[in-house]
């Protein structure tokens, strides 16, 4: 476990031996750990750099192990501070990428058309629906607003009535939103296909694999959309959609738990997102769940892992191969 904090396996062994036998010297530690005295001295240097051993007041010239609730707590605090710093850096990077994509889309003539305002977006969706000949791929992450679903119904009705194939992945959280679940089941009743997954790509609508509509700002689709026809961008969007669709579960099917870990897909993805440095709010947005639900999931996971902190839960989850 301590290797995750930056200790080598040998240093961890020596540290444990010093905690278990405070009076042992280097030779006794070496004999008990199956190491040479030179190896023990090397590991003691490592432990000293990490302030996990200090000079003994009772035995001049020898070292004593610092209690784990002091030494390891300091290391955990340093790791948590580093994690918080990485979270801030990741948030800034995501914002920069979003701005860059929006700026590039605005200036690349012929590769996309910016649509500003809900009326412009809805009008383009209606036109795209009328032009559809084969299929509609519509990725719908996050919470589904009742007014948005109501606005989409006429176009969806027209497309499905013409026998057009429609595939729509929602997030698992949609199953707990009555209005969204009702709409999803309506799509099924009209011949559409609906699946859910813990996380799915950003909101997008792809028509006949020849044109697509994506939000300018993935965090707020009401700010505007980009109409895309450039083959390279379309190929990337379609690949992203297909990957999500192939790993999603059909609506109506029971969401499976991993038989080895007992984790649901949402819990496993939550562990991965938090482990990558996302905050509760950011992870919740990716999963389409509230921060309170994130906390509830993490409390359940920590209890199953017998972990007293999220950091410890992350370490134990990694050790068990849950990540």
Exposure string of 282-317, with b = 16+ CB inside 10 Å and e = fewer, is bbbbbbbbeeebbeebbeebbebbebeebbbbbbbb
What is the CATH number assigned to the segment(s) 111-250? 3.30.870.10
pLDDT of the residue at 100:
53
**Domain boundaries of the chain, sorted by first residue:** 2-66, 69-107, 111-250, 256-319
| Domain 256-319 indexed as CATH 3.40.50.720 | no
8 Å CB contact between 165 and 136: yes
pLDDT, one tens digit per residue, over 239-285 is 888 888 887 878 765 555 555 666 777 777 777 777 777 778 877 77
190 or 106, which is more confident? Answer: 190
Task: Calculate the dihedral angle through the C-alpha atoms of 78, 82, 85, 87, rounding to the nearest 10 degrees.
Answer: -120
State residue 250's pLDDT score.
81
pLDDT for 124-141, tens place per residue? 887 888 888 889 898 887
CATH 1.10.10.10 describes domain 2-66: yes
The Cα 136–Cα 158 span in angstroms is 12
pLDDT > 70 in the chain, percent: 80
Q: Which tokens go with 36?
A: 């040479």
What would the pLDDT profile of 1-41 be if each residue is shown by its tens digit?
Answer: 555 566 788 888 888 888 888 888 888 888 888 889 888 88
pLDDT at 113: 79
- DSSP, collapsed to helix, strand or coil, labels residue 184 as helix
Higher-pLDDT residue of 274, 105: 274
**Is there a shared CATH topology between the 2-66 domain and the 256-319 domain?**
yes
Q: Identify the pLDDT of residue 186.
A: 87
Burial class (CB in 10 A: 0-12, 13-18, 19+), 270: buried
Task: Say how far apart CA 125 and CA 148 lie, in whole Å.
Answer: 12
pLDDT of residue 97: 46
């Amino acid at each position: 476990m301590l290797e995750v904090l930056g200790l080598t396996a040998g240093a961890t062994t020596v540290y444990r031996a010093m905690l278990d036998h405070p009076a042992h010297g280097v030779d006794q530690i070496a004999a008990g750990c199956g190491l040479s005295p030179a190896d023990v001295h090397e590991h003691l240097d490592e432990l000293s750099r990490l302030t996990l051993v200090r000079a003994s007041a009772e035995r001049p010239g020898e070292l004593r192990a610092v209690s784990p609730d002091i030494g390891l707590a300091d290391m955990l605090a340093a790791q948590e501070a580093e994690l918080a710093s990485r979270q801030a850096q990741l948030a800034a990077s995501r914002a920069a990428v979003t701005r860059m994509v929006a700026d590039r889309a605005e200036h690349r003539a012929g590769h996309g058309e910016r649509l500003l305002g809900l009326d412009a977006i809805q009008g383009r969706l209606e036109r795209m629906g009328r032009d559809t000949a084969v299929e509609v791929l519509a990725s719908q992450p996050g919470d589904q607003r009742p007014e948005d679903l109501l606005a989409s119904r006429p176009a969806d009705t027209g497309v499905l009535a013409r026998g057009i194939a429609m595939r729509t992945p929602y997030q698992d959280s949609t199953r707990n939103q009555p209005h969204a679940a009702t709409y999803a089941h309506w799509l099924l009743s009209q011949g559409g296909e609906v699946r859910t997954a813990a996380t799915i790509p950003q909101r997008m609508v792809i028509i006949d694999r020849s044109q697509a509509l994506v939000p300018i700002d993935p965090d707020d689709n009401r700010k505007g959309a980009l109409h895309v026809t450039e083959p390279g961008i379309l190929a990337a969007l379609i690949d992203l959609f297909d990957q999500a669709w192939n790993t999603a579960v059909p609506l109506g099917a029971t969401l499976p738990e991993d038989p080895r870990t007992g984790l649901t897909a949402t819990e496993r993805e939550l562990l991965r997102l938090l482990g990558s440095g996302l905050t509760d709010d950011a992870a919740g947005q990716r999963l389409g769940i509230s921060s309170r639900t994130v906390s509830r999931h993490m409390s359940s996971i920590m209890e199953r892992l017998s972990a007293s902190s999220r950091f410890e839960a992350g370490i134990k989850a990694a050790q068990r191969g849950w990540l």
